[in-house]
Structure 1
Amino acid sequence: MVSDFFYPNMGGVESHLFHLSQQLIRRGHKVIVVTHAYGNRAGVRYVTNGLKVYYLPAWVGYQQATPPTFFSFFPIMRNIFVREQIDVVHGHQALSPLCHEAIFHARTMGLRTCFTDHSLFGFNDLGNVVGNKVLKFTLSDIDHVICVSHTSKENTVLRAALNPQDVSVIPNAIAASQFAPDPGAPDPNWSGYWRMRAQVTIVVISRLVYRKGIDLLVAIIPRVCALHPKVRFLIGGDGAKRIDLEQMRENCLLHDRVRFIGSVKHHDVRNVLVQGQIFLNTSLTEAFCIAVVEAASCGLAIVSTRVGGVPEVLPPHMIYFAQPEEDDLVRAVDQAIQAAYLKKVLPTRQHAEVKQMYSWANVAERTEIVYDRITQIHTPPFIERLRRYYGCGLWAGKVFCIMAALDLLFLLLLDWWLPRETVEIAPNFPTRKYKQASERGDHGRTEQRVVVAI
């Protein structure tokens, strides 16, 4: 698994990588995560169930992504692929240059490759045009592509000019046991409880950036507070747009109605969600939005903009949709608040329904099928790779062919300078023995010492 986005950074991609890796380990596979260093977290680390993470030394640019280099990571990635005896390289997120580089180098080494797209992108500005061209370069020579929603699939197929048969839809999921409603909350079937409440809390947990619709949030909070004196907002997350929210609170004198709690660690998200009755998502674009599933699992009513793949995520009775416009969002929030006083569904019942719909075990099983299929495909000859790259554009195609040729020459140089036979094979983590020791409760007496060099 390769991506710029992994723990300790927080987000949907990070959660996806971790939980998918854990389920694949439980299914008997060896999984390695490759990402860039986060502060003091560098080198090789082990996390839950022996999941090994390589935190590569790299300069971090915009939004925790490394700058594109295409060649600088090849020596260390080659060492990892050989050392860990990798069969499949699975890249995540189109905004991750590390992901694109890993897939590119893996194809040069003859490895199987897979890519999962977690976001939606447009076609009408320079940044998206360049990003789509890079994506087309990467996906023109790949075994299979996974998207998290049907809307995301349509978007990726158009951006990268792919054959739809080479793209599968495997949605995100949640660990439902970690997002259970508060068992100590009063029974919401008692209508008098809602009428006697001192306040209704609307929870927002998001990166406070433009793409998440924070400008819309700034506009609707004063209007909702004016319509409903008992409504409070609890906002978790951080980002460039937080200053706009703070200025709105100052200008509208809403210090007692709007509370900021800053960045929220993933294991604390549930404790924040259960403090509210409504979850608000104002995103301008979303491929899936795992946050609304987590909130629904906690028993909250959902208000969301009707964008991207969000309409595919939850059944209509769990969510109130609005267009990404100020007036329509105020209408949807008002509708959710009014419905809260007449709420008929127990949060536990909603949690059970979400638990049946989403499971990481199911995601891992379907991803495993993709791996089985691509490992049966014959590796194309180098001339076929050049033909695919050449079709990426009049000028870009020629540049991509030159890059592929240089990458092959670089690989030959590395194989001569440091033959693969001289690379020490890393020992596998004793997952089965660790699990048995944990079940016996004597893992403290079965110490395992693994020394890893990179």
Structure 2
Amino acid sequence: MRIAVVNNFFPPRVGGSAHLAEALAEKFVERGHEVIVLTAAYRDAPAEEQVNGYRVHRLPAFKMPKLGLSIDFDITFASRPSNVRRVFRLLDEFQPDVIHQHGQFLDLSWLTGWYSRRRKVPALLSVHTRLESTLRLYAILFRLLDRFLVRPILRLYRPRFVIMDEMAEKYCAQRYGATQGEFDHIPVAVDPREITALPTFDVRDRYGLCAAPLIVSLGHVIPLRNRLALVRAMPAVLEKHPKVKVLVVGRIYYDRFLQLAQQLGVRDVFVATGPVAKGEVPSYLAEADVVAHDLQGIGCGTASLEAMAAGKATVCAVRETNFPWVELRNWDNALLVRPDDPAGLAAMLNRLLDDPDERERIAARQRDVVLGDFTLDVVTDKHLAVFDLMTAPTPAGTR
């Protein structure tokens, strides 16, 4: 099978969808399929290169300017007439059987969606991020973008949707009019071999941390993962664990949590590392007593699943039904709090820090959940099964 993988985000750019697209491309090749990757240019990465058995084409792109807004993010766009022609030329030469797109609001998905419609090539769209915001103005703006831009484009070429949790299913149904017949439940993938690699440096030595309880908060700081609940929980945590530190690992696009920490007198508890290379993440997780960053009820993301795979007690603000194919049980194989609940979060953190045995027992069961249902091999199998379904001959007399 010839598979075109499409994502504006691709390494060396870091990020969950970028690394998943890369990992799946490598797995598709490993399973004997031909793969081409279309992505946006990023810094000094080569325009074309052969990587691990597949070819990467990075199209000329421009970066969204930083306007001092809380939604500023490192996004590059590739929409220009020359790229339309180039996309069609590259795909015509490759002759894909299926197109796997990452990101419903990224313009390379739209360009290849047009190709999908014109050439009648089926497209599978992985929805990694929902256009939502806790800030009212942006929430309204995102709803308008979804209604008047994203939805019409998606309905034009009608992809199948990769749904990673129950919130994504509800979102795609409401925002894009997608039906159950267009959904495929495939989780985000985690590669335990990468995340459990041996540490390459001493985190506590690098940041001058003593042998005190350490909470690691892994992932970029954006309005939907703003760390505000974690800051508000700290006074109650400090009452029982006065030496606790919180290591925030990732780029800070939204710094309200640092301002709030200053106001509450807990600023010295928080250590912000900035962005780190993916290969360094195991070193940070190795020292974590607890991991917490998905605290606003928007889902359980890649970083949280990776922390679980590493055997670390990981707190998330999701429901027991978040993953339709997995039964989550609080204080058994999951650590679940209500969204934006500082008091509940503080109580959970204190209990976990008080009882290392319970913490390790739950962490081991969380790890079993990830290893059973979220490994890269399992996720690859599910994608390939959907590709087979999409490319199967249509029975005579049906549409």
CA contact (8 A) 1:5 1:13 kept: yes
How far did residue 152 of structure 1 move? Answer: 1.2
What amino acid is the match of 1:157? A
**Count of residue pairs brought into register by the alignment:** 365
Q: Which residue of 2 aligns with 1:55?
A: 58
Indicate the SS of the match to 1:52. strand
SS state at 1:239 partner? coil
Q: Which residue of 2 aligns with 1:64?
A: 74
Identity within the alignment, %: 20
What does the per-residue CA deviation read over 1:229-252, in whole Å, with 9 as the maximum and x for residues that have no partner?
Answer: 132212211122247427735973
Distance in 2 of aligned mates of 1:248 and 1:308: 30
Give me the whole-angstrom Cα distance separating, in 1, the residues matched to 2:373 and 2:12. 28
Distance 2:336 2:365 in 1: 21
TM-score, with normalisation over the residues of structure 1?
Answer: 0.72
Residue by residue over 1:354-401, the C-alpha shift from the partner in whole angstroms, topping out at 9 and shown as x without a partner, is 3233221221121112112222366xxxxx9xxxxxxxxxxxxxxxxx
Q: Which amino acid aligns with 1:376?
A: A
Q: With structure 2 as the length reference, what TM-score do the two structures score?
A: 0.81
Relative to structure 2, which stretch is displaced further, 281-290 or 199-208? 281-290
**1:130 lines up with 2:142 in the alignment:** no
How many angstroms apart in 1 are the aligned matches of 2:357 and 2:368? 22
2:218·2:304 contact (CA, 8 Å) conserved in 1? no
Output one character per residue of 1:326-357: Cα deviation in whole Å (capped at 9) or x when no partner: 22222222232233365462966764553233
- 2:355 is paired with a residue whose SS is helix
What amino acid does structure 1 have at the position aligned with 2:14? M
CA, structure 1 residues 320+362, in 2 after alignment: closer, same or farther (shift >3 Å)? Answer: closer
- The answer to whether residue 220 in structure 2 is matched with residue 207 in structure 1 is yes
Per-residue CA deviations over 1:33-66 (Å, capped at 9, x if unaligned) read: 111111111411233x223211111112152334
* SS in structure 1 of the partner of residue 168 of structure 2: helix
Cα distance in 2 for residues equivalent to 1:133 and 1:60: 23
Cα distance in 1 for partners of 2:154, 2:19 equals 24
| Structure 1 gap segments, 5+ residues each | 184-196, 379-383, 385-454
Please state if 1:165 is matched with 2:177: no
User: 2:335 aligned with 1:320, yes or no?
Assistant: yes
Structure 2 unaligned residues grouped into runs of 5+: 65-71, 134-138, 200-209
Equivalent AA in structure 1 for residue 114 of structure 2:
F
Is 1:303 the counterpart of 2:315? The answer is yes
SS in 2 for 1:229: coil
Q: Please give the per-residue CA displacement for 1:57-102, whole angstroms capped at 9, x wherever unaligned.
A: 1112152334484755210101110222222222111231221222
Partner deviation per Cα, 1:183-241 (whole Å, 9 max, x = no partner): 9xxxxxxxxxxxxx942111111111111133333333344234411322122111222
CA distance change for structure 1 residues 349 and 369 in 2, over 3 Å: closer, same or farther? closer
* Alignment equivalent of 2:373, drawn from 346, 351, 357: 357
State the SS of the aligned residue for 2:116: helix
Task: State the partner residue of 1:114.
Answer: 124
Match of 1:329 in 2: 345
In structure 2, how many angstroms separate the alpha carbons of the residues matched to 1:369 and 1:100?
Answer: 24
Structure 1 residue aligned with 2:160, among 124, 144, 147? 144
In structure 2, how many angstroms separate the alpha carbons of the residues matched to 1:348 and 1:181? 17
Contact 1:150 1:169 in 2 (8 A): no
Q: Is the 8 A contact 1:238 1:262 kept in 2?
A: yes
Would the alpha carbon gap of residues 139 and 342 (structure 1) be closer, same or farther in structure 2, given more than 3 Å must change? closer
Partner of 1:16: 20
Any idea what SS the aligned residue of 2:145 has? helix
Out of 292, 315, 319, the residue aligned to residue 280 of structure 1 is 292
Given the superposition, is the C-alpha separation of residues 170 and 4 from structure 1 closer, same or farther in structure 2, using an over 3 Å criterion? same
Query: Match for residue 204 of structure 2?
Result: none
For 2:40, the equivalent position in structure 1 comes to 36
Which residue is equivalent to 1:75? 85
Which secondary structure does the structure 2 equivalent of 1:210 belong to?
A: coil
Q: Do residues 27 (structure 1) and 39 (structure 2) align?
A: no
Query: 1:268 and 1:251, CA in 2 relative to 1: closer, same or farther beyond 3 A?
Result: same
Q: Over aligned residue pairs, what C-alpha RMSD do you find?
A: 3.1
SS of 1:213's equivalent in the other structure is: coil
Give distance in 2, aligned partners of 1:145 and 1:77: 22
1:234 aligned residue: 247
Deviations 1:412-436 (CA, angstroms, capped at 9, x unpaired): xxxxxxxxxxxxxxxxxxxxxxxxx
Q: Pick 1 or 2: higher relative contact order, CA cutoff 8 A, min separation 6.
A: 1
Q: Which amino acid is the alignment partner of residue 238 of structure 2?
A: C
Conserved? CA contact 1:287–1:308, under 8 Å: no
CA-to-aligned-CA distance 1:232-274 (integer Å, 9 cap, x gap): 212211122247427735973653x432222121111111101
Q: Deviations over 1:154-187 (max 9, x none)?
A: 221221112211211111121112233879xxxx
- Which has the larger displacement, 215-224 or 345-354? 345-354
DSSP-derived class of the 2:8 partner: coil
Which protein has the larger Cα radius of gyration, Structure 1 or Structure 2? 1
Query: Would the alpha carbon gap of residues 291 and 102 (structure 1) be closer, same or farther in structure 2, given more than 3 Å must change?
Result: same
Letter in 1 for 2:249: G
* Among 324, 333, 355, the residue aligned to 1:339: 355
Structure 2: distance between partners of 1:222 and 1:214: 14
Measure how far apart 1:129 and its partner are: 2.4
Tell me the equivalent position of 1:88.
Answer: 98
- Residues 259-308 of structure 1: CA deviation (Å, up to 9, x unaligned): 22221211111111011110012443534412122111212111222379
